[in-house]
């Protein structure tokens, strides 16, 4: 029995190795470009991956690319939990927590409604709204993992990732100027930047460009949004599972939370209880980042540029509108309270 299992594992490893190696190579190349020339590493991974789309269509790399885009993705999302503690979230105060949570929910609902106004699939509005409201590319990947698979799922995911990554980079430059123009103090600036910018890296860059205190506050607010990924993924999983059952289809999603989500919560708990040494947290954070970049490379390789060009302006309008919506909501929250 053990021998057969070992042989099967060896066969599966041999099958996925070529494609996974290509994804890892693209991820490392993207990291090199980001470190030496600036720019978001995930955007580099997407663009480089799309340049090698032909490898995903057939041949030895196909299985490994699929493995990277699905399994490696889930590992990366689970490991995001090592960056968060319950104390960090509690220190923000009830009003800030409630305001950020409300902004998240309303942004997702806004995306769902606007998608239908623009005659797009409601699921695209939920996906892009969740990505904008929570943590950009990482949220898009996590949410798409529990949404039903359609011929358009991967294209919608990759377009959402491209859009939120690009807008997050723009926000990293523009939003600190807004905080300066409106004379926000360090805490207000931190709440605004952490509550509006999509990706964690861009929040850190924007926050610490204002001040050390603004950087600390913005990072914790952003991590609160990342933590809210857990209930949102659970709700998405339940909604789409119930929808499939209502239509008489078999549901592969189930009511139980996905394993990667359980892993995320476990890591948050372990970090909150100080069970994880600082060196382990540092290495696991780096591993999470590498897994997500590798997954993005895989998704990029599975995406055809020809298909991307068919998306059209309505999708661009959708994501930009969601970005403006959450920015206005958090700005009013800061201004009023």
Structure tokens at 43: 């955007």
Mean pLDDT by 10 residues, the chain (337 residues): 73 88 94 85 83 84 87 83 80 87 95 94 91 86 81 78 81 90 91 89 80 83 85 86 59 55 85 90 90 85 68 84 96 88
pLDDT for 253 equals 45
Q: Distance between CA 229 and CA 77 in Å, rounded? A: 10
Helix/strand/coil for 102: helix
Q: Does 320 map to a domain? A: yes
**Contact between 143 and 124 (Cβ < 8 Å):** no
Q: Does 193 map to a domain? A: yes
Report the number of distinct structural domains present in the chain.
1
Q: Does 87 map to a domain? A: yes
pLDDT for 212 equals 77
pLDDT for 244 equals 58
Rounded to the nearest 10 degrees, what angle do helices 41-51 and 153-181 cross at? 150
pLDDT for 51 equals 87
Q: Does 206 map to a domain? A: yes
* Helix residue spans in the chain (DSSP H): 2-37, 41-51, 62-67, 73-79, 86-90, 94-117, 122-133, 137-145, 153-181, 186-196, 200-210, 212-227, 229-246, 259-272, 278-301, 305-308, 313-336
**Contact between 50 and 301 (Cβ < 8 Å):** yes
pLDDT for 311 equals 60
Q: Does 24 map to a domain? A: yes
For 125-157, the DSSP string reads HHHHHHHHHTTTHHHHHHHHHTSPP-TTHHHHH
Q: Does 180 map to a domain? A: yes
Which structural domain range is residue 164 located in? 20-330
**Cβ within 8 Å of residue 101, ≥6 positions away:** 228
Q: Is the dihedral of CA 75, 42, 270, 228 positive or negative?
A: negative
DSSP code at position 183? T
pLDDT for 279 equals 92
Q: Does 336 map to a domain? A: no
Q: Distance between CA 118 and CA 313 in Å, rounded? A: 10
Q: Does 11 map to a domain? A: no
pLDDT for 251 equals 47
Q: Distance between CA 331 and CA 193 in Å, rounded? A: 9
């Amino acid at each position: 029995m053990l021998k057969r299992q070992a042989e099967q594992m060896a066969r599966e490893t041999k099958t996925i190795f070529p494609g996974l190696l290509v994804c890892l190579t693209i991820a490392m190349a993207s990291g090199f470009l980001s470190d030496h020339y600036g720019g978001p590493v995930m955007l580099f991974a997407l663009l480089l991956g799309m340049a090698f789309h032909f490898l995903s269509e057939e041949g030895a790399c196909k299985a490994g690319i699929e493995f990277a885009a699905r399994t490696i993705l889930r590992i990366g999302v689970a490991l995001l939990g090592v960056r968060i503690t319950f104390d960090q979230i509690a220190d923000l105060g009830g009003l800030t927590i409630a305001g950020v949570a409300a902004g998240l929910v309303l942004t997702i609902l806004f995306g769902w409604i606007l998608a239908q106004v623009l005659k797009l699939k409601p699921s695209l509005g939920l996906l892009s709204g969740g990505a904008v409201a929570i943590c950009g590319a990482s949220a898009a990947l996590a949410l798409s993992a529990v949404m039903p698979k359609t011929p358009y799922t991967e294209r919608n995911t990759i377009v959402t990732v491209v859009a939120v990554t690009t807008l997050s980079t723009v926000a990293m430059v523009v939003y600190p100027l807004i905080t300066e123009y409106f004379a926000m103090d360090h805490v207000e600036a931190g709440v605004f930047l952490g509550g509006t910018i999509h990706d964690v890296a861009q929040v850190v860059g924007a926050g610490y460009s204002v001040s050390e205190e603004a950087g600390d506050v913005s990072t914790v607010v952003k991590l609160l949004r990342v933590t809210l990924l857990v209930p949102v993924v659970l709700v998405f999983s339940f909604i789409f599972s119930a929808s499939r059952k209502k239509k008489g289809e078999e549901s592969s999603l189930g009511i139980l939370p996905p394993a990667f989500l359980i892993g995320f919560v476990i890591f948050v708990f372990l970090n909150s209880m100080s069970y994880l040494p600082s060196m382990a947290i540092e290495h696991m954070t780096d591993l999470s980042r590498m897994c997500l970049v590798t997954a993005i490379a895989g998704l990029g390789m599975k995406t055809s540029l020809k298909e991307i060009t068919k998306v059209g302006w309505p999708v661009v309008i959708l994501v930009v509108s969601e970005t403006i919506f959450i920015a206005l909501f958090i700005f009013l929250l800061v201004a009023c309270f």
